[in-house]
Structure 1
């Protein structure tokens, strides 16, 4: 079996072949963002002599493992090294054959995957994101690392904003420039991501500097909004105070990456995406508008979009942590005041779910407020301008740890790897094979032709519901959605 070798702008890469799929792992798309380049926009990689070994994943961005109960369901990985701005490529042998001999390649569709992790964790080296099933089905798959936590989303007085977002944009530029060498079609690039990865994709679609880099987009369970600079800077100020330094590039550059991660853990202790508290966020400014508003106003209308969420997103943070049993009347009252939830909305949700615990009701409201309502709002706006949108919901309920249809539960199905250890940690091994066949097949079809296989968003509000039996549901829970006004 021959070893696959390709030439990109920075040099030659030597990958591996396994089961009819060529893999190139740990490929730098930008220079290492440390030393003089720390807290700077991504810079071109200087290149390398000879052939670079691309047989193993590259370094991961500085971060800490999950804790507080989440470590039982969400994996972590740490790979040492400075070249954290790297990506992985999986390509079918059929696509590589022409490319290796200098031909044009097969011109297959491309998916670029942006991982999640609340902008503070995650890596393309996680087994969850193995691109083999996509390559097996004729898609050249690219997974991207970007700076997370303080390295990627600090708001410093004298450094660019949203460095992690700029990394993703740089990786998309690399893909446009280089993917033909792996048999991919640079004119058929679908960017896809989940959670914070989907939030970054929303920002990419809204960012003027990223115009033309994306042909299709898949957004899974990602809030669409960014925060004003002062709000996004809150966690940076807290970390600076914890460390006794100024919130400047010079001061933060003097702190070792692991010390920044430790400070981050101290100031975010006890916070979650659904209950609030300090956390990293995209910051509006320096070219980035509020993504949600820009998208509703028409940004990226030319890009076909597949978007959705799970039916019980918040259970990821409520069940494994035991938080669901600690949410009481005052928490619901605080949420009502903070988010101006109308009495009629609370009444409608309570009437529809009379036996629900307060913690579960809190989770349902959080899921709709953060994800389902913005998804519907954007889809409606795009419909009014004739833009193509498909909406889905993942409703299959895992029996493990009371997770149900929680955040991240769709990932094993999308990647068609239900038997992988990381998948079993979420699903308990109970997810039916038909679920993965339906969902993975829809994602592949969207990459190939821009249509996942059900009717696009229209006035009947079709939502493809992935469950034990996948079906299209029209205007699900419309009375609850409409009650928000």
Structure 2
């Protein structure tokens, strides 16, 4: 395989050509490019912080760290976990790296996994097939479970949603360097990823980041703030800490991951209670109606979001990019 090197405003990256450059069907993969600083230490439970520029050429030939840890054993889709701190990264697959004039349509894929698992490093999300049809493809990572969506006093809400926004902003800033057109971005996802698409579709503040959307079997709606707070308080009790930023930062990621499922359990002897709870309240962890980033339930957010979209275009968006 041949190296593919392109220079972004934040620094140069080295990817890999699959096939010979210029041959029909060949494409390049740039893996694990950070769109934000690692969410660890003082940055844990904070807004995503834009990545600092780097010197030299950054290797982008292997998948970056994933927010998913270990073998979850709960999915038929191969979604490997990758160790490391720099979990906020994107993978870009393109047939025209470095061609800023190519203006190819772009597909940005958000993985599923119930907002608690899933990995952008899955071979199922490799964009090679889309590249053959002239579509630049991006898969992105985001914080999962309590780290991404738990309610914490002193911390911004919906950190996983803010990660999606930061990744989409990165696409707007850099996708031309990969041969993509930032005005022709389609966001897509399945299950929780489809729920993420619907959340973004109903956010007026996100409308400038994409022109079309595709949600496949999307997850159920947003979580009410009181319920999210109740689950966070329960998690703090299980961990033996105060339900504050300092309290949760004092607990290791591994321990919170081990406890977060118990914190969201429905207290009932009814074997159907977990399913009933999901149908009524949504998934245990996920986007929260916080009155800020998500001011209301998803259905109530669609009208102002679509009104904004219609004002900024000559007609409703379409998933057709060619």
> TM-score w.r.t. structure 2 length?
0.86
Q: In the alignment, which residue of structure 2 is the partner of 1:276?
A: 277
Structure (1/2) with the larger helix percentage? 1
Deviation at 1:5, TM superposition (A): 0.5
Secondary structure of the residue aligned to 2:277 is: coil
Match of 1:197 among 189, 193, 196: 193
Structural mapping, 1:371-386, within 5 Å: none
Contact 1:139 1:447 in 2 (8 A): no
CA RMSD after TM alignment: 2.4
Question: 2: CA distance between counterparts of 1:191 and 1:35?
Answer: 31
Question: 2: CA distance between counterparts of 1:120 and 1:108?
Answer: 32
Q: In the alignment, which residue of structure 1 is the partner of 2:50?
A: 44
Question: 2: CA distance between counterparts of 1:2 and 1:203?
Answer: 39
Deviation at 1:104, TM superposition (A): 2.8
Q: In the alignment, which residue of structure 2 is the partner of 1:30?
A: 36
Deviation at 1:275, TM superposition (A): 4.0
Question: 1: CA distance between counterparts of 2:321 and 2:205?
Answer: 26
Question: 1: CA distance between counterparts of 2:156 and 2:120?
Answer: 24
Question: Are the structure 2 counterparts of residues 151 and 447 from structure 1 closer, same or farther at C-alpha, using a change threshold of 3 Å?
Answer: farther
Deviation at 1:216, TM superposition (A): 0.6
Question: 2: CA distance between counterparts of 1:26 and 1:244?
Answer: 35
Q: In the alignment, which residue of structure 2 is the partner of 1:149?
A: 145
Cα deviation code 1:239-272 (max 9, x no counterpart): 1111111111111111111111111234456999
Deviation at 1:127, TM superposition (A): 1.6
Question: 2: CA distance between counterparts of 1:125 and 1:299?
Answer: 31
Q: In the alignment, which residue of structure 2 is the partner of 1:7?
A: 7
The alignment of Structure 1 onto Structure 2 pairs a total of residues equal to 302
Question: Are the structure 2 counterparts of residues 224 and 294 from structure 1 closer, same or farther at C-alpha, using a change threshold of 3 Å?
Answer: farther
Unaligned runs of 5+ in 2: 20-25, 267-271
Question: Are the structure 2 counterparts of residues 291 and 175 from structure 1 closer, same or farther at C-alpha, using a change threshold of 3 Å?
Answer: farther
Q: In the alignment, which residue of structure 2 is the partner of 1:130?
A: 126
Cα deviation code 1:113-162 (max 9, x no counterpart): 01111111111001221111111211000000000012111101111110
Question: 2: CA distance between counterparts of 1:22 and 1:141?
Answer: 11
Contact 1:62 1:261 in 2 (8 A): no
Deviation at 1:88, TM superposition (A): 0.1
Match of 2:104 among 90, 104, 108: 108
Could you say which structure has the larger radius of gyration?
A: 1
Contact 2:93 2:128 in 1 (8 A): yes
Range with bigger deviation, 25-34 or 129-138:
129-138
Secondary structure of the residue aligned to 1:251 is: helix
Secondary structure of the residue aligned to 1:31 is: coil
Match of 2:85 among 62, 82, 86: 82
Question: Are the structure 2 counterparts of residues 296 and 170 from structure 1 closer, same or farther at C-alpha, using a change threshold of 3 Å?
Answer: closer
Q: In the alignment, which residue of structure 2 is the partner of 1:207?
A: 203
Question: Is 1:448 aligned to residue 300 of structure 2?
Answer: no
Cα deviation code 1:400-435 (max 9, x no counterpart): xxxxxxxxxxxxxxxxxxxxxxxxxxxxxxxxxxxx
Q: In the alignment, which residue of structure 2 is the partner of 1:168?
A: 164
Question: 1: CA distance between counterparts of 2:274 and 2:14?
Answer: 40
Question: 2: CA distance between counterparts of 1:290 and 1:226?
Answer: 9
Question: 2: CA distance between counterparts of 1:57 and 1:12?
Answer: 17
Runs (4+) of structure 1 moved beyond 6 Å? Answer: 269-273
Question: 2: CA distance between counterparts of 1:210 and 1:276?
Answer: 29
Contact 1:214 1:303 in 2 (8 A): no
Deviation at 1:237, TM superposition (A): 1.9
Contact 2:207 2:305 in 1 (8 A): no
Question: 1: CA distance between counterparts of 2:59 and 2:317?
Answer: 41
Question: 2: CA distance between counterparts of 1:279 and 1:11?
Answer: 39
Cα deviation code 1:161-202 (max 9, x no counterpart): 100000000000000110000000111011111111122222
